[in-house]
Every structure is written in C-alpha cells, then in structure tokens.
Amino acid sequence: MMNIPSTIKISLRALRGNKMRSALTMLGIIIGVGAVITMLAVGTGARQKIEEQISSMGSNLLMVLPGASTSGGARMGSGTQLTLTLADAEAVKKECSSVSTAAPILNGVAQIIFGNQNWSASIIGTTPGILEVRDWPVAAGRPFTDDDVRNASKVALVGQTVVDNLFRNVNPVGKIVRIKNIPFTVIGVLEAKGQSAIGQDQDDTLFIPVTTAQKKLFGTQFPGMIRIIMVKAKSSEDLANAEKQITELLKQRHHIGQKQEDDFTVRNLTQMMQAAEQSTHIMTLLLGSVASISLLVGGIGIMNIMLVSVTERTREIGIRMAVGAKTWDIRLQFLIEAMTLSVIGGTFGILIGISGSEILSLLAGWPTVISPASILLAFSFSGIVGVFFGFYPAYKASLLSPIDALRHE
C-alpha cells in the first residue's frame, strides 16, 4: 500500500500543476473563514460592550418608580405623579429582608459654575447608599455621610465628565462650585463609569445629599418627596423576593387596597439588561450562521473542481491502479487535495478575518473582539468542509475500473 508521505507529494504536485484553478477554488473558503471570524468578532464585541454597560449600572438592581397621573381621562405614564417619599426608601432598606440597601433619588439638570467655567449636568440628590447600590467607588476625596444628609450639607461628589469640562487641570476636591447661585464644596470625585446601556454618559453627573436637593435646590411639592428609589437585592436569587417584599410594603404604607391600582411600579433592571445581553448573543450566533453559508458555498466549489479533476485524470488513476495502487490510495489522494485546499484557504481566511475586523473597528467605530475560539471554529469548519465535499470525488475516483480508466481519452 502506498505510504501517506508519497500520497501527499502526489496531491501537492497535482495542485501546483493547476495553480490558478486551485487559487480560485480556495477563494470561497478564504471569504467564508474571513466572514465568519469578522461577524463573530462584531457580535462578541457588541456583547462585551453590553456586559460592560451592565456591570457599570450595578448588580441585582431594582428600580421603584412613582405612579401615573391622569388628566382629562388620559393616563400620563409612570413617574408623572410623585408618590414616593424619603421615608419609603428608608422603610424599604430597613424592613425588606431580601434588600441589601436602597437609595432615594431626586434629580434635575442645572448649570454648575466654577470660576469662569460653567457646565450643565445632571444633579442627583441621594444618600450615601447610592454608591453601594450602583457599585460606584469614589476615586478621590471622600463620599458624603448620613450626617451630611441629616444636616442638608452643601457638599457634592462630581463625575469624571464634569471634572474634565469644568475643572480641566485643577484638582476639584475642596473647591467651591455654584449651582443656582448656591455654593457647594466638592468633597470627592466619582470613578469613571462610561456610557449606560442606553448610551447615556453616566459620568456627566453630580451627587448631593437628597435633603439638600429637597430644601435648597429643587424644592418639593410636599415634604420628603423623591422621584425614584434605587434598590440593590442581596443576591440575584433574592431579586424576585425583594420585588415582592417592596410591593407589599409600599401597598401597606400607601394604604392601597386589593382592588386598587398601585401608585408605584417596581422594575427589575437586572432582568432587562440580561435580556439585552441575550439578544446580542442571539445576534452573534445569527451573524456567524449567515457567514458560515459562504463556507458551504466554498465547499461546493471544492467538490465541483475535484469532480472535474477526477474526469481529467481518469487515465492517470487507471495507470496508478494498474501498477498496484489500492482503492484507499486513490481516495486518500483526492481527500488530501481537498483538505489542502481547505486548510490553505482557511489560513488565508484567518488573516483576512483578523484584518477585516480591525479595519471595520477602525472605520465604523464598532467594538470587535477576536477570540481564539472563533478562529479555531472557523478553521476547523473549513477542514470539515474539505473532508465532506472532497469525499464524494475521492469515492468516485476509487471506484473506477483500471481497464476503463486506461481506455479513457
């Protein structure tokens, strides 16, 4: 029986004899592998971006929104009727066993002035618990305290975007800024968070004690009014139970009967963000599946060329079989030719895929992540395509009768 090294040499010599045809045959595999790697890189990059945005929001999050107002029979939507209070947030934090902590929010937009510079940013009145709820550490300085909240102190924590646009090269800690002509002392700088899942700049913000926002900055329609309660459950397993406990507690506090409509809404932000991540994962699989179709097209091209090759080399096959070549020698020769086309095409396809991903990221600004798993997947698939589509031509060649093959013109 012919040994494998000799069979490989014969196969490579046959491919070199038709360089242009071999190159065109590999083109389908090159495009297919390159497309698979590029599409998976785009999908993986998008998923990773969403994961970063999810982690920047915090983990195990719930949001309690106030109720909906009705005007002329038209319901205006959640948050249009302010029904939550600072006492509600304290009760949720203390009385719900599945809740780790809770933070009230009374927010607005205002102009911040420092020296001759000014910047419009989101002003959030809250409590120290917001840093734990949002997993948001202080990069410099210190956070405000419960005493600052009780005393309605005029202190502030600033986000990185505010620092960049208002203070430039000046250390903001200890500096005085004015908001609506009220002086605030900057006591700390928040660590950079980046964009949220909806594209909002989370660093374009300034935190102050919620009582300061209520009494000195925004005012309230009634004492203790807030807009939102941000809640952090003790774990992901406690999210459903925390949601139930919050609903029951607020129903009791707001004296809502069984048949009455709630004047608040509890939303599970973690589930919403996980749903977005799952959608991106499905998109990645879809992109990879669509791109893999071009690999199948390339495989069909290989099979077509190999069938033509069998027809052209019928006499050669007859001579080899006449001098002692076995059935598997013939099959192995054509399988090796098909696999060689796939492997070489796959190698060039990897280079094309990596380059294409980098160019796409540079020109379109899309995040792309090339994982070794996607490269291995695309390369392995190209090899499988070579074996699968090369087997039939090899099988057909091995069944030729030596006498009929020698008579072939």
Residues 244, 110, single domain; the answer is yes
Residues 173, 223, single domain; the answer is yes
Q: Once rounded to an integer, what is the mean pLDDT over residues 129-154? A: 92
Domain edge (last residue) among 262, 286, 311: 262
> What is the per-residue pLDDT for 362?
83
What residues have CB less than 8 Å from 324, skipping those under 6 apart? none
- For residue 63, tell me if it sits in a domain: no
Residue 137 CB coordination number (10 Å): 11
Domain edge (last residue) among 197, 231, 262: 262
Domain edge (last residue) among 262, 288, 306: 262
What residues have CB less than 8 Å from 347, skipping those under 6 apart? 379
Q: Once rounded to an integer, what is the mean pLDDT over residues 383-406? A: 73
Residues 311, 371, single domain; the answer is yes
> What is the per-residue pLDDT for 71?
45
Q: Once rounded to an integer, what is the mean pLDDT over residues 55-77? A: 64
> What is the per-residue pLDDT for 74?
43
The b/e string for 93-102 (b: 16+ C-beta within 10 A; e otherwise) is beebebbbbb
- For residue 280, tell me if it sits in a domain: yes
Residues 145, 181, single domain; the answer is yes
Nearest alpha carbon to residue 406 among 333, 322, 306, 308: 322
> What is the per-residue pLDDT for 271?
64
Instruction: Locate 228 and state its tokens.
Output: 């939102």
Q: Could you report the per-residue pLDDT of 334-364, keeping only the tens digit for each?
A: 777 778 878 888 888 889 888 888 888 888 7
In this prediction, residue 406 has a pLDDT band, given cuts at 50, 70 and 90, of: low
Instruction: Locate 313 and state its tokens.
Output: 């080399």
- For residue 58, tell me if it sits in a domain: no
Residue 79 has pLDDT above 60, yes or no: no
Residues 102, 210, single domain; the answer is yes
Nearest alpha carbon to residue 190 among 176, 177, 172, 217: 172
Rounded percentage of the chain residues whose pLDDT exceeds 70: 85
Residues 154, 252, single domain; the answer is yes
Residues 244, 123, single domain; the answer is yes
Residues 253, 374, single domain; the answer is no
Residues 239, 373, single domain; the answer is no
- For residue 69, tell me if it sits in a domain: no
Residues 101, 215, single domain; the answer is yes
> What is the per-residue pLDDT for 70?
44
Which range, of 68-77, 142-151, 258-267, averages the lowest pLDDT? 68-77
- For residue 67, tell me if it sits in a domain: no
Say how many domains are in the chain.
Answer: 2
Residues 130, 244, single domain; the answer is yes
What residues have CB less than 8 Å from 99, skipping those under 6 apart? 92, 93, 231, 232, 233, 234, 242, 245, 246
Which range, of 22-36, 72-86, 144-158, 194-208, averages the lowest pLDDT? 72-86
Return the amino acid letter for 374.
Answer: S
What distance in Å separates the CA atoms of residue 293 and residue 288, rounded to the nearest whole number?
A: 9
- For residue 270, tell me if it sits in a domain: no
- For residue 352, tell me if it sits in a domain: yes
Phi/psi of residue 270, each to 5°? -65, -45
Residue 117 has pLDDT above 60, yes or no: yes
Rounded percentage of the chain residues whose pLDDT exceeds 90: 30
Return the amino acid letter for 142.
Answer: R
> What is the per-residue pLDDT for 194?
80
Residues 171, 258, single domain; the answer is yes
- For residue 269, tell me if it sits in a domain: no
* Greater model confidence, 99 or 272: 99
Q: Could you report the per-residue pLDDT of 187-215, keeping only the tens digit for each?
A: 999 999 887 766 678 899 999 999 999 99
Q: Could you report the per-residue pLDDT of 33-53, keeping only the tens digit for each?
A: 888 888 888 877 877 776 666
Q: Could you report the per-residue pLDDT of 225-263, keeping only the tens digit for each?
A: 899 999 998 887 888 899 999 999 999 998 888 778 888
> What is the per-residue pLDDT for 130?
92
> What is the per-residue pLDDT for 156?
95
The b/e string for 339-349 (b: 16+ C-beta within 10 A; e otherwise) is bbbbebbbbbb
What residues have CB less than 8 Å from 270, skipping those under 6 apart? 59, 60, 61, 62, 236, 239
Range of the domain at 255: 82-262
